[in-house]
Amino acid sequence: MTILPGLIEGIMPRRVWSKPLRRYPEPAPDQLEQDRRLFYVGLTRAKDAVVLIHGTYWETDWGTRNTLGTCRFVLDVLRHLAV
């Protein structure tokens, strides 16, 4: 069994806080593609089953909530399974 934790926007794909913008900007296209490939590798290496641990928010080190939502890659998988 493969377990993929932390599937929340900002963790996967990774977003870095921008002090001047005061937000977590969208990742660069090349970084987004790299994160998508990493997710795909984790998902497809499962032998028997895969557990996707996701949520709608995560807490920063300083205690604020990042509410960017569930990882877009997980949502793609769920949409594909619903068809």
Full-model pTM:
0.86
pLDDT of residue 82: 87
Ranges of residues in the chain whose predicted pLDDT is under 50: none
Identify the CATH class of 2-82.
alpha beta
* pLDDT (tens digit per residue) in 46-65: 999 999 999 999 898 888 89
Residue 26: which of 15, 34, 37 has the closest Cα? Answer: 15
Instruction: Tell me the pairing of strands 2-7 and 65-66.
Output: unpaired
pLDDT of residue 64: 86
